[in-house]
Amino acid sequence: MATPNASENIEALAAEIGENIYMDIAKWHLYLGVAKLHTPLAEKLMPMVASDDISEDNVTKILADIPIKLGGGRKTVALADLLPMQCLVNLLDLLEDYQRNL
C-alpha cells in the first residue's frame, strides 16, 4: 500500500514542478512539464523531501546530474545550467512547501 501513496506523492510533486519550473533557452521559457522532465526530476528529489534534507547544494547536485541534449544530441548541458536562479529559488520553495504538506 505504500507504493501507491509514494507514486501519488511523486505525481503530485511532478505536477507542481512541471507547471512552475522552466528552463530558459534564448529567453524562451520551456517548462519542465512540456519538456517531460518533471517526473524524472520529482523521482530524484522525492528522497530528499522525505528525509528533510532540502538544501540548495543538494538540489543543485541533482540538477547538475541531469543531462539535457541540445541540437539533436550534438551538445549536452546539465539541467542546472539551464535553470535561471529564480527558478532554482522557486524550486527550493516548492520543495519546502510540498514537504510541509506531506
Q: Tell me what the pLDDT averaged over the chain comes to.
A: 94
Averaged over 44-63, what is the pLDDT?
Answer: 94
Express each pLDDT in 3-19 by its tens digit: 558 899 999 999 999 99
In the block, which residue shows the cell 534564448? 26
Segment 54-75, tens digit of pLDDT: 999 999 999 999 999 999 999 9
Domain of residue 68 covers: 2-100
Helices (H), the chain: 2-20, 38-50, 56-64, 79-82, 85-100
Give how many domains the chain has, as a whole number: 1
pTM over 0.75: yes
pLDDT-derived band at 29, boundaries 50, 70, 90: very high
